[in-house]
Amino acid sequence: MQSLSCKVLVIGAGPGGYVAAIRAGQLGLDTIIVEGERSGGTCLVRGCIPSKALIHAATRFEEINSHRGDGKLGITVTTAPELNLAKMIEWKDSIVDRLSSGVEGLLKKHGVKQIKGWANFKNAKTCHVQTADGEVSITAENVILANGSKATELAFLPFSENVISSTEALDQKELPKHLIIIGAGYIGLEMGIAYRKLGSEVTFIEGLDRLLPIYDKEMTRPIKTWLKKHGINTIYNAKAQGVEDKDGKVTLTYQNKQGEIQTLQGDKVLVTVGRRPNTEGWGLENMCIDMNGAFVKINNQCQTAMNNVWAIGDLVGEPMLAHKASAQGEMVAEIISGLKREFDPVVIPAVCFTEPEIVSVGLTPDEASEQNIEILVGKFPFAAIGKALAMEAGGDGGFVRITSRKDNHLIIGIQAVGAHVAELSNQFALALEMGACLEDLANTIHVHPTLGEASMEAAMASLGHAIHM
């Protein structure tokens, strides 16, 4: 068995792990990273990036179709576009390949040794890795656990060829005529909307009485309108019971709001009921680490109960977001190098790439009121923004909403729903991180014409003098 030692050992080359390893390499720390699959993790390989590529391609297909018949914008398409889903997936995979190779190149550039294989810890600082060339033993002074998460599988709906997770939904070579989706959260909605644009019939089975429960109803109303307009049926207060998979078709049994047992037949059932941390199968039980429910317990520096063992990303709890993992990974590498850091962001932005998109940063009006904060709320519709109208994005009911303290106008929350609002999320986060007040946004000259003008106008609306409303 080959034996290696290092200053920093990183387990998992996802957005938390590879960032931690690159930063450690930049800081001159002897670093090894272990990854059992491809560099990039869930986000790059089977999550954020491939799903956004599929959403983009589906939107392009829908846009081309919208020019058929009488056409629009003075553009008419006389022949219906043809969908080759296998080719679309091939294009999506080429992006993943390029980015995954890029991550490996960056690791190499910064002197990080890459080991391909599965780590199994014998104690807190030593693991054995089974590689293609044999077993390797690695002992480290510092260990960063970035093992990520995986899709939750329901015991009564085990994954199969026709009962799939989001991973398989991103690799379909043939378009399902009818896609049944369990769960109307952000993953289910993103996938369902994309497949509807490609031409699939889509039905959602949601256990609660609303979609996207982490957002308030004002925010989700434009999405609900889009689903209705595009013939997507959402069955609320419904609980999936089981599935019969026969002759290439699936029949889902569910209980409706009235307690009646119903059935629904489709080609595929996509299960999107959340994700759970990867805590099994790699020796966590041998590391003397405390747990916080299903997650690894950490402090504000991502330290575990074991000295010099750190944990980041999905492994340590919500929010399970790539950008949170990356920020934690960078911080931990700097702490190991001797810098003084702690993980204490004012906000962690959340984005839903639905139709239209949703952004939430900080507190909503309801959350602020629950904390007995006296607030001002300003809202401005994209229907009054010239750039939105010029790009056919003003009619979806979208808006920017700003929540601030009434006493000093400190901004404590910004939400937006509308086309391309994900691109505004960083401005929103910066405003809260820097402690901006309404006057800061209102008096900052915003470029015209841009969607970002809605942020300025929403701040002005809070102060009682929006110009274009």
Q: Which positions are annotated as active-site residues?
A: 448
CA angle 51, 52, 54 (to 5 degrees): 65
Instruction: Determine the Cα–Cα distance for residues 81 and 105; give it in Å rounded to an integer.
Output: 38
Structural contact between residues 405 and 375, judged by C-beta atoms closer than 8 angstroms: yes
Half-sphere exposure of 359 (CA within 13 A, CB side): 26
Structural contact between residues 126 and 141, judged by C-beta atoms closer than 8 angstroms: no
Q: What is the DSSP string of 9-54?
A: EEE--STTHHHHHHHHHHTT--EEEEESS-TTHHHHHHSHHHHHHH
CA angle 80, 83, 85 (to 5 degrees): 175
Query: What number of other Cβ atoms are within 10 A of residue 209's Cβ?
Result: 9
Q: Closest Cα partner for 196 from 233, 157, 165, 236?
A: 233
Dihedral angle of Cα 114, 119, 123, 125, to the nearest 10 degrees: 10
Structural contact between residues 245 and 237, judged by C-beta atoms closer than 8 angstroms: no
Structural contact between residues 167 and 191, judged by C-beta atoms closer than 8 angstroms: no
Q: Closest Cα partner for 226 from 364, 417, 72, 361?
A: 417
Q: Closest Cα partner for 81 from 59, 103, 48, 109?
A: 59
Burial of 103 (0-12, 13-18, 19+ CB in 10 A): buried
Instruction: Map tokens 């272990």 to a residue.
Output: 34
Query: What number of other Cβ atoms are within 10 A of residue 213's Cβ?
Result: 14
Instruction: Determine the Cα–Cα distance for residues 278 and 331; give it in Å rounded to an integer.
Output: 22
Structural contact between residues 403 and 411, judged by C-beta atoms closer than 8 angstroms: yes
What is the three-class DSSP state of 194?
A: helix
Instruction: Map tokens 């308030």 to a residue.
Output: 216
